[in-house]
Every structure is written in structure tokens, then in C-alpha cells.
Structure 1
Amino acid sequence: MESDEKYLERKFGRQNHFAVPDGYLQNLTASVMANVSKQTECNMPNKETANAKVVVMQPWWRRTRVRIAAAACLLVAGGTAFYTYMDSEHHAEPVSNVAASNSNHNVEMGTSASYNEMADYTMLDNDDIYSLLASN
């Protein structure tokens, strides 16, 4: 910190480089009061501007951002509901097949064993199917 002060003192010296014009401080109060009175006269509202309203225009996306957010939420909720409905309807088994498969296999849904059995069933060809039907 002191090195900065010493550098500035060496470079510029100790003299004040700022000066006030002669007579400025004697007339300062009078000139400020004159400017204040002019400003208050200019800012006095007349009949036309007294009833005027200030309307702030915002971009369309700011005015409708709540509506856009609500529409996006409805779109996501509707898409999720539709996907769930279509997925459950597409993979649903008839009640008789579910009872038969549960009694025959005794495997709970969602276990890796049930997925392995499903994979085995998908790899059956016609000869395997005929042999399974003939054995039962």
C-alpha cells in the first residue's frame, strides 16, 4: 500500500491538480435553488397528463408464460397417461391364460426366471412347439 503512495508521489508530486473556478462556491446555492424551482415547475402535471396511465408492454412470451407452462404440463401428463394406457392394453393377457400360466410355472412376474422363460418361449420354432403339444 505504501509503495503505491510513494510511486504516485514520485510520479505526480504532492500538488493538487484539481481546481475550482473563481466565484463558483459563492454562487452555488443560488444556482442550485434556481434549477430546483425550474425542475418542479416542469414536473407539475397538467390536466391531460394527470389522468394518463403508463402501460408497460411486454413480449408475448412473457405475457403468456403461465399458459405455456400449463400447456406443457398437460401435454406431459396426457402423453404419460396415453402411453400407460396403450402399454397396458397391448401387453394384457386374457384372464384364463394368466391363471393357466401361473398354475403351470409358479413364477412371479418381474423376476429374472420369468424373463428367462419368456426368452425361451420366443426361441421355439414349429418343431419344438409340435413336440411340446404332443407331450402334453
Structure 2
Amino acid sequence: MKEEELLRQAVGDKQPFKVPEGYFDSLSGRITEALPACEVRLTSGTANRKRRLRLLAAAACMCGVLCVGSAYYMSRDAGAVADATNVKSQYMYNEDTYIEEVADYAMLDNQDLYSYLSGE
């Protein structure tokens, strides 16, 4: 706060910059006069039509790819549903092999497993 008061006393409150009278009144007119003249060209609708047709063709190709892919996925998945009836036997086999692999990795024999399970 003291620094601001010292600066105001040394410099004063006078604004060094002023805008000339009527500057903003004629500003828009001077800007439009300074812009280069450009000609307006009317384009035919064929360019837009070609662009739209390209986009439509790309969208149709994507839809076709999605339809073929989903049909392939659905036909492949139907065979997997038929094999789902044998899940229980596969689960038991996988569970047993997993336990055996863990026991081998941990270097546990049957006596160690029994003692851990019984809490001794």
C-alpha cells in the first residue's frame, strides 16, 4: 500500500495516453476501407454433391463391414454355445491342474498341504 502511494506522489494520477475525439465513431468505416476488395464467386452444387456422395459411399462401406463382421462373430459364437454344456468337467479339470501347478511351484508336498489346511 505504501509503495502505491509513493508511486502516485512521484508520478501522479495523470493518464499519459488519450484517445482522439471521435476515434471510435469512424473506426469501423476506416477498417472496411482498408480491407482489400474480394469478388464473390458462386460455385455450382456439383462439388457439394460429389462430396456428399463420397461421404455416403464411405458410410455404406463401413455399414457393410460392420454387418459382415457381426455375422461372422455371431456364427462363430453359435458353436461356442454348443460346447458350453461340458463346462463343469472342464472347470474341475482346470481347477485341479491349477492347484497342482501352484503346489509344484511352492514346493509343497501332500503332508504340507494337509497341515496348512488343518491349521496345525
Which band: TM-score by shorter chain? 0.3 to 0.5
- TM-score, scaled relative to structure 2: 0.32
